[in-house]
Amino acid sequence: MNHCLKSIFILLSISVLSSPFIQAQNYAESADKVTPLLISSEIPDVSLKNIDGETVSLRSRVYEQPTILVFYRGGWCPYCNRHLAELKKIEEELYEIGYQILAISPDRPEKLKATLNENELGYTLLSDSPMEVTKAFGLAFKVDPKTVERYISLGIDLEADSGYDHHLLPAPAVYIVNTEGIVRFNYVNPNYRERINGDVLLSAAKAYYKE
């Protein structure tokens, strides 16, 4: 692993100092208080919905091949759409290495179809409308009422998009998971404007593919 990547790994792994028991909480009160699933942890045995509304076991998919897991806020988020487009640029290279890409959001399956078509994405989008998967990864946080109202004034309806009134969102995150379901790398940033650079993710993917 090169020095630059190792430094990033150390920076993003500060979360390992958090007690794993904290992750049992349902959600955080703000994005900067989330307690992400730790590196070297096994991913939870959870299910999502695909764009057709069919149930998908996350572990079953991950056991098939190494996986890039992406948690994003929804198709309404311009920063998320830019990030999804960034992933599209390195999609083929990730496939050639041997990865699959699974992107998870609170959006209902119907909303996923719109995001898929608008961004012309080739990888898989999955729905976590109840936010149970995001909670299990320690990434869920509650959007405060003032922000919910501000979103509504901007035409963003979290309840309509998810089909739930929980007002939960994920802190944007990217995980690299091996075929044993073990987290090898993560990038979690409570600042939704900041996302992992595609070149950095590609370097990490190459470094952790055989591990």
Helices (H) and strands (E) in the chain, counts: 8, 9
Host domain of residue 167: 3-208
pLDDT, tens only, 60-103: 999 999 999 999 999 999 999 999 999 999 999 999 999 999 99
pLDDT, tens only, 195-206: 999 999 999 999
Nearest-5° Cα angle at 23, 20 to 26: 160
d(CA 13, CA 47): 26
Q: Dihedrals φ, ψ of 95, to 5°?
A: -65, -40
* Residue 71's CATH number: 3.40.30.10
pLDDT, tens only, 36-48: 999 999 999 999 9
Q: How many distinct structural domains can be found in the chain?
A: 1
Full-model pTM: 0.88
